[in-house]
Amino acid sequence: MKDKVNNFKTYLFWFANDHVDFRLSEIESIIDILKTCIKWVEKPSKKPYSIVDLPSDTIAREIAHRSVTLKHISELWVSSAEKEDLHSKLKEYSDKVLKNLINLRKASFKFNIEVFCNTQNYSEKIKKIESFNYLPFEGPVKLDNPDITLQYFEYYGVDPNNIPKKPYYLFFGKLIANSQRKIIHNLSLKKRTFIGNTSMDAELSLVMANHAKVCKGDVIYDPFVGSGSLLIAAAYFGGYVFGIDIDYQMIHGKTKPTRKQNRHIARKDENVLANMKQYGLEDQYIDILVGDSSLPLWRSDFKLDAIITDPPYGIREATERIGSNHIHKNNSQNENKETKFPSKVIYTFHQILYDLLYFSALHLKLGGRLVTWIPIYIHYNEHNYLPEHACFSLISNCEQILSRVVSRRLLTFEKIKEPSNEELKLCKIYNNNFREKYFNYKYNANISSSGEYQNSDSFPIEKNNL
């Protein structure tokens, strides 16, 4: 189908059935990267598809080449809520368009039949394919790498417990491009040389890199680098990556093995650089420093293209910074030690966010993006209290549900102006006391009606025992 106003063609975006809330913001970020324009006919929602008008097949392929929330993009020929109407429209389209395309008619082809929220057996699938035998394709059927792949979709809603007798909507068209979901498998944590207790999975890492609009040659920074999952995703898209972390043991690969298998033994080469070499990305790797992100080392005129990070929440990882609660401290006992570790104090999450936004306002280039997670305690409606800064515009706010009471939100900020000295500090942070609420809930949830603990492992950790 073509838009008569702008001569754009209409495309069907078919999404993978996970991370639903991230679809729209990822596609919009990719559109910004490509510096092109689109017209949404139907925006991404809980449905597995959206309908978009695009200027060309080339743009559609470029979008698919970057996206990991998509499965594939098809040129949409016809759509309808009724099978008879779909076939009627397709016959009309065939008579007007397909019969005049000699190259298309002679090409090898195959059919893909895709059903969402329902099942189909082999005989049903063959029956559906045969119902399109009026199409004027004269070339051979070729299952591997055909010249053209015809796509037929049936949409039965999103509730597997309430499947209708007939589909809500039907689509037919031509496959333009598959997405890059194969990258998720290639970068899987299951096969990665070095991981940590909180390593970000490959799909969300790649989504974050897309939200940050990482392009070839960009300089990307992670101030809470951990095992480097976010840097791997950014490097995959061509960014030059580096970071900092306060955990000396993690950075130098001296932590206990994080894999469950007893046969796994930590090796000396288990570190972030080893991961980069594993994926052939070592040329994109600048370095990782052991240090405190709240005490940055960089010159004031040092600029970054993007900052991608997942700060510690104080649950599975400690929130600490360098410091001491003592005015005077005797270090004489450590004078003869070969390695000295500085003392640390609690670094609350709202302090982390303040420092992160302050640093980003100072060091991001104009138009650069900060992509970061924040934890949310759902019962308190904390999505209404998001961090703000005078130099940033909030581009997207995507939620990942973790449990009945806890979620986390991926916030994407874009720098809209260079700060004055006063504007650097114009940062509004809501102190949601997430860690305290989380452990209070765990504590109360594990007390029986008799007042006894059900699970001693869930007893709340003392505030100073991180």
CATH of the domain at 191: 3.40.50.150
What SS3 string covers the chain? Answer: CECCCCCCEEEEEEECCCCHHHHHHHHHHHHHHHCCCCEEEECCCCCCEEEEEECCHHHHHHHHHHCCCEEEEEEEEEEECCHHHHHHHHHHHHHHCHHHCHHHHHCCEEEEEEEECCCCCHHHHHHHHHCCCCCCCCCCECCCCCCEEEEEEEECCCCCCCCCCCCCEEEEEEEEEECCCHHHHHCCHHHCCCCCCCCCCHHHHHHHHHHCCCCCCCEEEECCCCCCHHHHHHHHCCCEEEEEECCHHHHCCCCCCCCCCCCCCCCCCCCHHHHHHHCCCHHHEEEEEECCCCCCCCCCCCCEEEEEECCCCCCCCCCEEECCCCCCCCCHHHCCCCCCCCCEEECCHHHHHHHHHHHHHHHEEEEEEEEEEEEEEHHHCHHHCCCEECCEEEEEEEEEECCCCEEEEEEEEEECCCCCCCHHHCEECCCCCHHHHHHHHHHHHCECCCCCECCHHHCCCCCCCC
Indicate whether 258 and 153 sit together in one domain: no
Indicate whether 65 and 195 sit together in one domain: no
φ and ψ at residue 32, rounded to 5 degrees: -65, -40
Is residue 355 one of the residues assigned to a domain? yes
With a cut of 60, say whether residue 460 has pLDDT above it.
Answer: no
More confident position, 312 or 132: 132
State what percent of residues in the chain have pLDDT above 70. Answer: 80
State what percent of residues in the chain have pLDDT above 90. Answer: 61
Average pLDDT over residues 163-176: 97
Indicate whether 397 and 332 sit together in one domain: yes
Indicate whether 299 and 376 sit together in one domain: yes
Is residue 440 one of the residues assigned to a domain? no
Q: Is the dihedral of CA 32, 38, 41, 47 positive or negative?
A: negative
Q: Which of 195-204, 302-311, 316-325, 344-353 has the highest mean pLDDT?
A: 302-311
More confident position, 450 or 246: 246
Rounded-to-integer distance, Cα 464 and Cα 404, Å: 27
Tokens describing residue 136:
């004027």
With a cut of 60, say whether residue 338 has pLDDT above it.
Answer: no
Confidence of residue 418 (pLDDT cuts 50, 70, 90): very high
Residue 430's pLDDT is 77
Indicate whether 216 and 86 sit together in one domain: no
Indicate whether 147 and 192 sit together in one domain: no
The neighbouring-strand residues paired with 304 are 364
**187-243 pLDDT tens trace:** 999 989 888 878 899 999 999 999 999 999 999 999 999 889 999 999 999 999 999
More confident position, 273 or 268: 273
Indicate whether 217 and 345 sit together in one domain: yes
Indicate whether 298 and 202 sit together in one domain: yes
Rounded-to-integer distance, Cα 168 and Cα 81, Å: 6
Indicate whether 171 and 196 sit together in one domain: no
For residue 213, the Cα-to-chain-centroid distance in whole angstroms is 12
More confident position, 175 or 191: 175
CATH of the domain at 150: 3.30.2130.30
More confident position, 1 or 176: 176
Confidence of residue 318 (pLDDT cuts 50, 70, 90): low
Is residue 453 one of the residues assigned to a domain? no
What residue type is assigned to position 70 of the chain? L
* pTM, to two decimals: 0.86
Confidence of residue 454 (pLDDT cuts 50, 70, 90): very low
Considering the chain, what is the average pLDDT of its residues?
A: 85
Which residues constitute the domain of residue 341? 185-432
Residues 6 or more apart whose CB falls under 8 angstroms from that of 219 comprise 239, 240, 242, 286, 303, 304, 305
Indicate whether 369 and 294 sit together in one domain: yes
Residue 51's pLDDT is 98
**287-300 pLDDT tens trace:** 999 888 888 788 88
1-15 as b/e: b if 16+ CB within 10 A: beeeeeebbbbbbbb
**99-134 pLDDT tens trace:** 888 788 889 999 999 999 999 999 999 999 999 999
More confident position, 406 or 341: 406
Rounded-to-integer distance, Cα 125 and Cα 119, Å: 10
Rounded-to-integer distance, Cα 125 and Cα 37, Å: 37
Indicate whether 112 and 199 sit together in one domain: no
Contact 122, 113 (CB under 8 A): no
Average pLDDT over residues 257-263: 52
Rounded-to-integer distance, Cα 143 and Cα 141, Å: 7
- Strand duo 240-245 + 285-290: pairing: parallel
Confidence of residue 339 (pLDDT cuts 50, 70, 90): low
* Number of folded domains that form the chain: 2
